[in-house]
Amino acid sequence: MVAAAAVLTAGLLVFHGAVPDAAIGLGSLLETFLPWLGAVVPVLFVLALVRRSPVALVALLLPVAAWTYLFGGLLLPAPEPGPDDLVVVQHNVSDENDDPAGTARALADAEPDLIALQELVSPALGVYARTLAADYPYRTVHGTVGLWSKHPLTEAGPLDIKPRGVTEEWNRGLRTVARTPHGEIAVYVAHLPSIRVGASGLASARRDESAGLLGDAVAAEELGRVVLLGDLNGTVDDRALDSLTTRLNVAERGVALSFPAAFPVARIDQVMARSATVDHIRTLPATGSDHLPVAARITLD
């Protein structure tokens, strides 16, 4: 039984895409927590020792190898910073954040080139604007998402990623162009709809539809270099984000679990890029939000 469980764990790691979503979103739910399958291995190892089963111990090499292949690279040291690197911060600041000024200062302390924020509401929006103005003179805000930049921003405008069936005012996407010393970069900021996990499974239809619209926008982008910053309410292993992860590079180093802030179990705050490499991603100290901010270093190709 221990050996069979080891083989099953390895199979789920390698062939997670074969697990159907059906009506309850089982495949997507598995992929959201896919790295945590590695936690099964120590339990099975102890059981194998108790049972004194050489077969089970050998079988455990399968999930160990599968997990290492999929996620081991994230644990390697970050490469040395380069002269053309771009540092970015992504943070869902929460519309219930009672310390927007402190949050803004904490993000600026990381000295990024770009700061992307979601769940911007009044009057907190004004606090973020005033607190970041000195170091980040360029900004664009559309709906509840915004971008602060050390570099000039042009062509700023809202991005329509609104799913069908949403009748209330809803603007959670923007596109702009950052004129950096290393050339122009199309920057997208997005906040995809939330998902819900309940007795009936994973409710993610609106998130999935919004992700598809965002993927279409990225695919149609004429500028070669693209950076996407956002609370995507999904991990990079989740098939629902395939329209993005098949077109954009994701972080090569770093785990950076960002949600929930009190006990983070998944990174749903993402940094992706095209014609650039996301060398490393990490979390920053907790703010007044239920998300942890993430900072990433991007090397431009």
User: pLDDT tens-digit profile of 3-43?
Assistant: 999 999 999 999 999 999 876 788 999 999 999 999 999 99
Which pLDDT value is given to residue 191?
Answer: 98
Which pLDDT value is given to residue 23?
Answer: 66
Beta bridge partners of 198: 201
Two tokens, residue 41: 């291995």
Task: Give the start-to-end residue ranges of the domains of the chain.
Answer: 2-75, 85-300
- Amino acid identity at 116: A
Q: Give phi and psi for 298, each to the nearest 5.
A: -115, 130
Two tokens, residue 77: 């040291």
Which residues are CB-contacts of 106 (< 8 A; sequence separation ≥ 6)? 284, 285, 287, 293
Residue 170's CB is within 10 A of a number of other CB atoms, namely 15
Q: What is the CA radius of gyration of the chain?
A: 20
How do beta strands 294-300 and 85-92 pair? antiparallel
240: left (phi over 0), alpha (psi -120 to 50) or beta: alpha
b/e map of 77-97 (b: 16 or more CB within 10 Å)? Answer: eeeeeeeebbbbbbbbbbeeb
**Which CATH number applies to 85-300: 3.40.50.10800, 2.30.30.240, 3.60.10.10, 3.40.190.10?**
3.60.10.10
Which pLDDT value is given to residue 198?
Answer: 67
User: pLDDT tens-digit profile of 243-276?
Assistant: 999 999 999 999 999 999 999 999 999 999 999 9
Would you give the end-to-end CA distance of the chain in angstroms?
A: 49
Exposed, middle or buried, 52 (CB in 10 Å: 0-12/13-18/19+)?
exposed
Low-confidence ranges of the chain (pLDDT < 50): none
Q: Give the position of tokens 């160990």.
A: 64
Is-contact 91 291, C-beta < 8 A? yes
Which pLDDT value is given to residue 201?
Answer: 66
Collapsed DSSP state (helix, strand, coil) of residue 11: helix
Question: Distance (Å, rounded) from C-alpha 211 to C-alpha 241?
Answer: 6
Q: Give the position of tokens 């080891």.
A: 6
